[in-house]
Structure 1
Amino acid sequence: MPDELWEIAEPLIPGFSPRPQGGGTALLDERLVFTAIVYVLTSGCTWRQLPGEFGVTRSTAHRRFAAWTAAGLWPRLHLAVLDELGGCGMVDWSSAIVDAAAVRAKKGAR
């Protein structure tokens, strides 16, 4: 993962809370977990297909993905990346595409 993306993402990642049942293993490097999650999201593989080379178990990656999703990480990260790219003049704000998967269509709306 590029250092530039990690520099944007790191301050947005919610603090880690230990699992309620306790016990267990040492804390993982958040960058390793983030990299594994981004791999799954961008490669199209399933959580079960997450390669062991990431150093993160699929259950840990999926659990952290669910926690970060509930905490609203992904929309905040999206805006932060757009802000960074826009500040560098790398985004053409004169046109946009609305993704129907991200915009709610109300029944009967005109």
Structure 2
Amino acid sequence: MLYVLRTGVAWRDVPAETVGCSGVTAWRRLRDWTEAGVWPRLHAALLTELRRADLLDLDDCAVDGSHVRALKGGTTWAPHPWIVPVPAPSTI
């Protein structure tokens, strides 16, 4: 998987002799592990180990919510402006 990310090649073009399996096999494993929920569990385990070893420094960090669902659009405190269609000027 890292080979594909680093080189940008298609899965079918992954050289089996370099990575140890065909690109199709690697893609299938990625799909299966994703469906099995491996990545969130691996992420949680890594954070746990880093905290345990006192190697997790959150002074310099970024929060990325691109993979977190906003349930029902989240809570908003700003008033919602009404959107009223404005007729376009006539071109006749």
Report the TM-score when normalising by structure 2. 0.62
1:91 aligns with 56
C-alpha distance in structure 2 between counterparts of 1:93 and 1:48, whole Å: 39
- Cα distance, 1:104 vs. partner? 2.2
Structure 1 unaligned blocks of 5 or more: 1-36
Structure 2 unaligned blocks of 5 or more: 77-92
Instruction: Say if 1:98 and 1:74 are closer, same or farther in 2 by CA, change over 3 A.
Output: same
Write the letter of the residue equivalent to 2:41.
R
Which structure: larger Rg? 2
1:21 aligns with none
Judging by fraction of residues, say which structure has more helix. Answer: 1
Counterpart check, 1:51 vs 2:15? yes
Counterpart check, 1:107 vs 2:73? yes
Q: Which has the higher contact order (CA 8 A, sep 6+)?
A: 1
Write the letter of the residue equivalent to 2:55.
M
C-alpha distance in structure 2 between counterparts of 1:86 and 1:49, whole Å: 39
Write the letter of the residue equivalent to 1:43.
R
State the Cα RMSD in Å: 2.3
Report the TM-score when normalising by structure 1. 0.53
Percent identity between matched residues is: 42
The number of aligned residues is 73
